[in-house]
Amino acid sequence: MPTTPYLQIDLARLRRNIARAAEFAQGAGVALRPHVKTHKSVEIARLQLAAGAVGISVATIGEAETFVRNGVGDVFVAYPLWLDDAAAGRLSDLTGDAAVAIGVDSVEGAANAGRLLGASTVEVLVEVDCGHHRSGVLPHDAGKVALAAVRTGLTVRGVFAFPGHSYAPGALAGAAADESAALREAAGALRDAGIEPRVISGGSTPSLAHSDTEVLTELRPGVYVFGDAQQWELGAMSPGSIALTCRSTVVSHAGDRLVLDAGSKVLGADRAPYATGFGRLPDHPDARIVLLSEHHAVVDLDGARLPPLGSQVDVVPNHVCNAVNLVDSVYAEESGELRPWSVAARGLNS
Say whether residue 332 binds its own copies (CB under 8 A): no
The answer to whether residue 314 forms part of the interface with its own copies (CB under 8 A) is no
Q: Does 271 bind its own copies (CB under 8 A)?
A: yes
Which CB, 25 or 262, lies closer to its own copies? 262
Region near its own copies per CB under 8 A, out of 4-12, 68-76, 94-102, 230-238: 4-12
Interface with its own copies: number of residues (CB under 8 A): 64
Report the residue from 294, 305, 336, 337 that binds its own copies according to the rule CB under 8 A: 294
**DSSP state, residue 278:** S
CA 34 to each of CA 48, 202, 203, 255: distance values in angstroms, whole numbers, following the listed order: 8, 11, 9, 45
Residue 28 or residue 251: which is nearer to its own copies going by CB? 251
Nearer to its own copies, 14 or 262 (CB): 262
128: left (phi over 0), alpha (psi -120 to 50) or beta: beta
* 12 lines the binding site for its own copies (CB under 8 A): no
Q: Taking CB under 8 A as the rule, does residue 261 contact its own copies?
A: yes
Report the phi/psi class of residue 66: left, alpha or beta, with left for phi > 0 and alpha for psi in -120 to 50: alpha
Please answer whether residues 38 and 231 qualify as being in contact, where contact means their C-beta atoms are separated by less than 8 angstroms: no
Q: Site for its own copies (CB under 8 A): which residue of 13, 140, 184, 295?
A: 295
Query: Is position 319 an interface residue for its own copies (rule: CB under 8 A)?
Result: yes
**Per-residue binder mask for its own copies (CB under 8 A), 156-185, x = binder:** --------x---------------------
Q: Which of residues 47-76 bind its own copies (CB under 8 A)?
A: 59-60
Can you name the residues that pair with 75 across neighbouring β-strands? Answer: 56, 100
* 230 contacts its own copies (rule: CB under 8 A): no
CA distance 299 to 25: 39
Contact 307, 313 (CB under 8 A): yes
Task: Answer for the pair 325, 3: CB distance below 8 angstroms, yes or no.
Answer: no
Instruction: Count CB-CB contacts under 10 A for residue 294.
Output: 9
The verdict on 131 binding its own copies (CB under 8 A) reads no
Residues 229/281, Cβ–Cβ less than 8 Å: no
Residue 119: which of 159, 160, 91 has the closest Cα?
91
Q: How far apart are CA 292 and CA 298, in angstroms?
A: 6
Residue 123 backbone dihedrals phi, psi, to 5 degrees: -100, 165
The least CB distance from residue 125 to its own copies, in Å, is 14
Between 284 and 319, whose beta carbon lies closer to its own copies? 319
The 3-state DSSP class for residue 14 equals helix
Figure out which of the listed residues 3, 85, 96, 337 binds its own copies, where binding follows CB under 8 A.
3
Residue in 34, 55, 109, 203 binding its own copies, rule: CB under 8 A: 109
Pairing of strands 74-80, 258-260: unpaired
Binding site for its own copies (CB under 8 A): 3-6, 37, 59-60, 79-82, 84, 86-87, 105-106, 108-109, 112, 127, 129, 133-138, 164, 249-255, 257, 259, 261, 263-266, 268-271, 291, 293-296, 298, 309-310, 319, 321-322, 325-328, 347, 349-350
